[in-house]
């Protein structure tokens, strides 16, 4: 098998177009199932009552915000090392979805914090580092589009994205390294401190977020490819047809 | 060496150096990244007594007293070893409860009482239905305490 077959923009353009709807369908089905589990099946929490149900949005989006940054940084590394065109386009396509998930995580966190902690926002290590992640996404997008020559934008922004990777372990381990108002992780590699129905709902919602992120990235990368390759023969032919 | 191998090594080396630098910086800032001090640190006067700071711990059982005006409340914050008396006037968060986590911001008055301007509740990462919590309680499971001590900062 030729591993580089799908790294050619025209081939990947068609593949992405065929795959994207399936990911959106999966995302919708999983989200419906996850919300059903989270809002109707899962019991209330002993301490927080029904308020804790924000978790079914908050944790999946927070996970995705970090995971998407990691994936984006991997594509940026490929861009810098191999000078591949498609990897830079993928990184550009991921950034807005990652920023959106980061924003939702911060937003839902604020509305969870108000009734439980008694405040929308505190400058503790977890919240602050997650806000830094949002600014890293914004910075990446701004820098990628700040150059006349998109290839230069790719490389400059890729460097920024790679530097920002330092922030990921800080976000993840902030609640262990320092004392914070934010509680520790309920789910880790060692196990979980959540009731099983609650955990199932959260994991299903996470898969829904995952599928949505893939679908959205594929749709967006198609427009990035078209824009970049607008002078290429295959785009002109497709446009003329 | 191929140029791409060189670039890969440069990136890997750069990231490693960046990681080490970040680790050193964070280590140096360790004490400034702490969101709250523990009652033990307050007792040892390892806190900025001349300005506002936060103290965090568990609300000690049986110490919550409401004043006549119903808005002023006094309680003790404990970490198991030491405890700090706190006075606060205002609305407490819903999760404020004896035996549960709390973070108060304010300063120590001349009488040694911590005058709080803000009281936040700190909940743990355990989520379970009320029946399960009840069962744990009856079994004498020290859930809340364990979890509060489990965080990095409060161990030191």
- Per-residue pLDDT reduced to its tens digit, B53-107: 999 999 998 889 888 877 899 999 998 888 999 999 988 888 888 888 999 999 8
Interface contact A184-B151, CB threshold 8 A? yes
For residue A63, tell me if it sits in a domain.
yes
Flag the least confident range among A158-172, A185-199, B9-23, B70-84. Answer: A185-199
Q: Which of B:7-26 have CB within 8 Å of A?
A: 7-8, 11, 14-15, 18-19, 22, 26
Please give the tally of structural domains in chain A: 1
For helices B3-28 and A55-82, give the axis angle rounded to 10 degrees: 140
For residue A7, tell me if it sits in a domain.
no
Closest chain B CA to residue A46: B130
| DSSP characters over B17-75 | HHHHHHHHHHHHTGGGG-S-B-HHHHHTT-S-TTS-EEEEEEEPTT--EE-TTSSEEEE
Q: Which CATH code is given to the segment(s) B35-155? A: 2.40.50.140
**ipTM strictly over 0.90?**
no
* Arithmetic mean of pLDDT, B20-43: 84
B16 CB neighbours in chain A (<8 A) are none
Separation CA A68–CA A212 (nearest Å): 12
For residue A6, tell me if it sits in a domain.
no
For residue A71, tell me if it sits in a domain.
yes
For residue A184, tell me if it sits in a domain.
yes
Domain ranges, residue A143? 12-42+51-240
**Residue ranges of the domains in chain B?**
1-33, 35-155
Single pTM value for the model: 0.88
**Burial readout B140-155 (b: 16 or more C-beta within 10 A, e: otherwise):** eeebbbebbeebbbbe
A175 CB neighbours in chain B (<8 A) are 151-152
How many angstroms separate the CA of residue B32 from the nearest CA in chain A? 10
> Does residue B155 surpass a pLDDT of 70?
no
């Amino acid at each position: 098998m030729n591993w580089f077959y799908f790294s050619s923009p025209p081939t990947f353009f068609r593949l992405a177009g065929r795959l994207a709807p399936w990911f959106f369908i999966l995302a919708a089905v999983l989200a419906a199932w996850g919300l059903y589990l989270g809002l109707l099946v899962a019991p209330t929490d002993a301490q927080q009552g029904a308020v804790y149900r924000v978790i079914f949005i908050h944790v999946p989006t927070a996970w995705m915000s970090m995971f998407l940054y990691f994936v984006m940084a991997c594509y940026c590394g490929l861009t810098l090392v191999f000078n591949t065109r498609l990897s830079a386009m993928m990184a550009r396509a991921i950034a807005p979805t990652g920023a959106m998930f980061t924003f939702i995580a911060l937003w839902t966190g604020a509305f969870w914090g108000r009734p439980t902690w008694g405040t929308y926002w505190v400058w503790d290590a977890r919240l602050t580092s997650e806000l830094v992640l949002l600014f890293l996404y914004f910075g990446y997008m701004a820098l990628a589009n700040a150059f006349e020559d998109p290839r230069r934008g790719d490389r400059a922004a890729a460097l920024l994205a790679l530097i920002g990777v330092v922030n990921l372990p800080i976000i993840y381990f902030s609640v262990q390294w320092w004392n914070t108002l934010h509680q520790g992780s309920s789910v880790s590699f060692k196990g979980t401190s959540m009731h099983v129905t609650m955990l199932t709902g959260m994991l299903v919602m996470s898969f829904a977020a995952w599928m949505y992120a893939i679908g959205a990235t594929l749709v967006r990368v198609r427009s990035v490819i078209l824009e970049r390759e607008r002078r290429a023969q295959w785009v002109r032919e497709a446009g003329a047809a | 060496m191929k140029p791409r191998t060189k670039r890969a090594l440069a990136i890997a080396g750069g990231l490693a150096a960046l990681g080490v630098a970040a680790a050193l910086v964070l280590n140096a800032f360790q004490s400034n990244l702490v969101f709250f001090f523990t009652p033990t640190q307050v007792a040892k006067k390892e806190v900025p007594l001349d300005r506002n700071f936060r103290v965090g711990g568990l609300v000690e059982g049986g110490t919550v007293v409401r004043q006549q005006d119903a808005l002023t409340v006094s309680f003790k914050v404990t970490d198991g070893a030491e405890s700090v008396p706190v006075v606060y006037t205002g609305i407490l968060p819903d999760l404020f409860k004896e035996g549960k986590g709390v973070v108060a911001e304010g300063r120590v008055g001349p009488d040694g009482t911590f005058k709080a301007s803000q009281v936040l509740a700190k909940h743990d990462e355990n989520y379970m239905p009320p029946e399960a919590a009840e069962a744990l309680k009856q079994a004498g499971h020290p859930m809340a305490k364990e979890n509060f001590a489990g965080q990095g900062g409060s161990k030191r």
